[in-house]
Amino acid sequence: MDNRRSRRSFLTSAAVTGAALFTAPALLAGTGRNRVTVSDADKPFRLKFAPSPGMFRGLCGSDDPVDNIKFIREKGFTALFDNGLPGRPAAEQEKIAAEVQRLGLYMGPWVLYADFSKTSFVLDTKEVRDFLKSKMQEGIEVARRTGFKTALVVPGRYDERLHPDYQRTNVIDNLKYCAEIMEPEGITLVIEPLNTLRDHPGLWLTQMPQAYQVCDAVNSPSVKIVEDMYHQQITEGNLIPNIEACWDHIAAFHVGDNPGRNEPTSGEINYRNIFKYLRSRDYEGVICMEHGRSIKGIEGEKRVIEAYRECDPS
């Protein structure tokens, strides 16, 4: 009888504990960490974390990009990134540039070319060279208009009909061609390794050592790497050692936790340690907040700010 009662008590206790685990804030949602309040967010961050103009639209209460940029600065962020900058009307680009310069913000890379459906850089054809020349000219116009001189390019898809060694040579030669156009303008192209397991199957550039090899061969200050830690956690992990190995070729970072591609503390990546490492290397570049939110609505926007406060190194 005593044994049965003891066993019943154990099962009841276990059921209560299990229910608590399901109803309590989940660790992977970032709510089980040491949280801070948004009121601290007016202090400048130590690293140049860069939200997009619309990341805090609800808290800002406006859709106007200039209003959002002002809000971002008020909350302590010292940088900005805008992937879609080239697609904005010229007048809006100029407006954004004027406000960024007025507030003394840094601008991260904007996307100049990222067509995931086509083979491009891996080919050695006149059509590809003509296209690249035209695309680089578009980038020069944006850079001259805004003063923002870091542009992202994705080398496109892998070609199954062409030997990998030829493709690598073509990518290097095409980037050298682009660098010859961009270097006199002081524009830096950043190439981004992307994951093929979840988001972008079929792309040619997937890993940091591969990107390092390309940049080393191109040997131009106008061709560098943007290290997207979300993609690389999926592709190969080993984040800090790969950052260290590729350090001289890295011009910017993208942030997103995995799984989910949301703010730091929402997944498995230890961004506290990564940001601590970047600060120990006196990293002065931009860290683009290229992710969603683990919580919907305004509370989710607040959580993003809190997460970066928690991870900002001392």
Nearest to 290 by CA among 214, 202, 190: 190
Contacts of 296 (CB under 8 A, 6+ apart): none
At 17, list the tokens.
């504990």
| Burial profile 236-246: b = 16 or more Cβ within 10 angstroms, e = fewer | beebeebbeeb
| Segment 41-70, tens digit of pLDDT | 579 999 999 999 999 999 999 999 999 999
- Check 192, 227, 263, 301 and give the catalytic one: 192
The pLDDT of residue 42? 76
Residue 17 shares a structural domain with residue 126: no
Amino acid at 242: N
Residue 195 shares a structural domain with residue 176: yes
Cβ–Cβ contacts within 10 Å for residue 187, how many?
Answer: 22
Domain that holds residue 153: 37-311
- Check 99, 290, 301, 306 and give the catalytic one: 290
Residue 108 shares a structural domain with residue 21: no
Question: Active-site residue 227, yes or no?
Answer: no
Residue 182 shares a structural domain with residue 303: yes
Beta-bridge partner residues of 151: 110, 189
Residue 43 shares a structural domain with residue 17: no
Beta-bridge partner residues of 156: 119
Residue 65 shares a structural domain with residue 199: yes
Global confidence as pTM = 0.87
If one counts the domains in the chain, the total is: 2
Nearest to 26 by CA among 260, 232, 231: 260
| Segment 236-245, tens digit of pLDDT | 999 999 999 9
The pLDDT of residue 167 is above 70: yes
Residue 177 shares a structural domain with residue 287: yes
Residue 5 shares a structural domain with residue 152: no
Strands (E), the chain: 48-50, 79-80, 106-107, 110-113, 150-153, 188-191, 223-228, 250-255, 286-289
CATH number at residue 191: 3.20.20.150
Question: Active-site residue 192, yes or no?
Answer: yes
At 122, list the tokens.
């891996």
Residue 110 shares a structural domain with residue 160: yes
Residue 159 shares a structural domain with residue 105: yes
- Helices (H), ranges, 147-207: 164-182
Q: How far apart are CA 198 and CA 262, in angstroms?
A: 15
Residue 151 shares a structural domain with residue 238: yes
Residue 212 shares a structural domain with residue 110: yes
